[in-house]
Amino acid sequence: MRTSGTIIVNYRTPGLVVDCLRSLAPEVAAEPGVRVVVVDNLSPDDSLAVIGDAIRTNGWAGWCTLVAGEKNGGFSWGNNLAIRYLRDTANPDYFHLLNPDTVVRPGAVSRLLDFLETHPEVGIAGSRLFYPDGRVQRSAFRFHGIRSEIDRGMKFGPVSKLLHRHIVAPPPRDEPHPTDWVSGASMMIRGEVFDRIGPLDEDYFLYYEETDFCLRATRAGFAVWYVPDSCVVHLEGASTGIARPEKSLPAYWFASRRRYFRKNHSAAYEWLVNSGYCLSLASWRVRRRLQRKPDTDPKSALADYLRYALWPFGTKRSR
For the stretch 4-53, pLDDT in tens is 999 999 999 999 999 999 999 999 999 999 999 999 999 999 999 999 99
- Is the residue at 239 inside a domain? no
**Both 161 and 96 in a single domain?**
no
**Both 45 and 122 in a single domain?**
yes
pLDDT of 277 above 60: yes
Torsion, CA 196, CA 202, CA 206, CA 210, rounded to 10? -10
**Both 279 and 203 in a single domain?**
no
Query: For residue 63, how far is the Cα from the chain centroid?
Result: 24
**pLDDT band of 245, cuts 50, 70, 90:** low
**pLDDT band of 238, cuts 50, 70, 90:** low
**Both 44 and 155 in a single domain?**
no
135-139, 153-157, 302-306, range with greatest mean pLDDT: 135-139
**Both 119 and 185 in a single domain?**
yes
Query: For residue 106, how far is the Cα from the chain centroid?
Result: 21
The larger pLDDT score, comparing residue 112 to residue 303, is at 112
Coil, strand or helix at 113: helix
pLDDT above 70 covers what percent of the chain? 94
**Both 78 and 207 in a single domain?**
yes
Selection from 308, 281, 310 nearest residue 297 by Cα? 281
Parent domain of 180: 4-137+172-234
Look at residues 200, 216, 234 and tell me which one is the last residue of a structural domain.
Answer: 234
pLDDT of 314 above 70: no
**Total domains in the fold of the chain:** 2
**Both 200 and 80 in a single domain?**
yes
Q: Which helix (H) or strand (E) holds 295?
A: none
CA within 13 Å, CB half, 214? 28
- State the pTM of this model: 0.92
- Is the residue at 95 inside a domain? yes
**Both 131 and 53 in a single domain?**
yes
pLDDT of 261 above 90: yes
Q: Contact 104/200 with Cβ under 8 angstroms?
A: no
**Both 269 and 210 in a single domain?**
no
Look at residues 234, 266, 285 and tell me which one is the last residue of a structural domain.
Answer: 234
pLDDT of 318 above 80: no
What residue type is assigned to position 120 of the chain?
P
Sequence-distant (6+) residues with CB within 8 A of 42 are 11, 68, 69, 70, 71, 72
**Both 71 and 200 in a single domain?**
yes
The larger pLDDT score, comparing residue 130 to residue 319, is at 130
**Both 189 and 42 in a single domain?**
yes
DSSP 122: E
**Both 17 and 72 in a single domain?**
yes
